[in-house]
Amino acid sequence: MFQIQIKNQNLHFENSEKGFTINQKLVNLDIFELQQKNSYHILHENQSYLVDVLKADYTEKNFLVKINGNVYEINAKNNLDLLLSKMGMDKITHNKTENLKAPMPGLIVEVKVSEGQSVKKGEPILVLEAMKMENILKAPNDVTIKNIKIKKGENVEKNQILIEF
């Protein structure tokens, strides 16, 4: 089950063997994925809807969608999110990494990113040489580089902040 908030209205969606239910009402939806990425054609009660997902933040479950030319902000919550909300724990922030620290003392061999750059989880950020071995430090999450606090050729200490996200 999902709860979707759109225009200050909460809709409860569920997909089961019987079909889709919206607010506990069985509805007939035909959903077709179009060739264009993140675009869908939905048929509901002889009405046609063209849906384009413009932005998707899967961590926060926030989406910007265009439906038949109108743009809407959507927030989705799954069963776990709803349970945490009932328990009063929905305001707990996600464990987001705010900076990259040196795991050991060493020499910065290469910085592979620049400030303002968006980097996906697992992409290389910099190369740190320690004990005659090159260590590639990668993005812990999808991040945007805010501040690079080191430069190539610089010696760093363990736990020194190298890059802020």
Q: Is the pLDDT of residue 68 over 60?
A: yes
Domains by residue range for the chain, with CATH: 2-86 (3.30.700.30), 99-164 (2.40.50.100)
Q: Which residue has the higher pLDDT, 132 or 165?
A: 165
- The H-assigned helical ranges of the chain are 79-86
The segment with the largest mean pLDDT, out of 29-38, 52-61, 92-101, 151-160, is 151-160
Question: For a pLDDT cut of 90, what percent of the chain falls above it?
Answer: 52
If we measure between CA atoms, which residue out of 121, 107, 130, 113 comes closest to residue 164?
Answer: 113
Q: What is the mean pLDDT of residues 72-92?
A: 80
Q: Is the pLDDT of residue 144 over 80?
A: yes
The structure's pTM equals 0.52
For position 138, what pLDDT does the model report?
92
How high is the mean pLDDT of the chain?
88
CA pair distance 162, 154, nearest whole angstrom:
11
Residue written as token pair 């592979």: 112
Cα end-to-end distance, the chain, whole Å: 33
For position 87, what pLDDT does the model report?
82
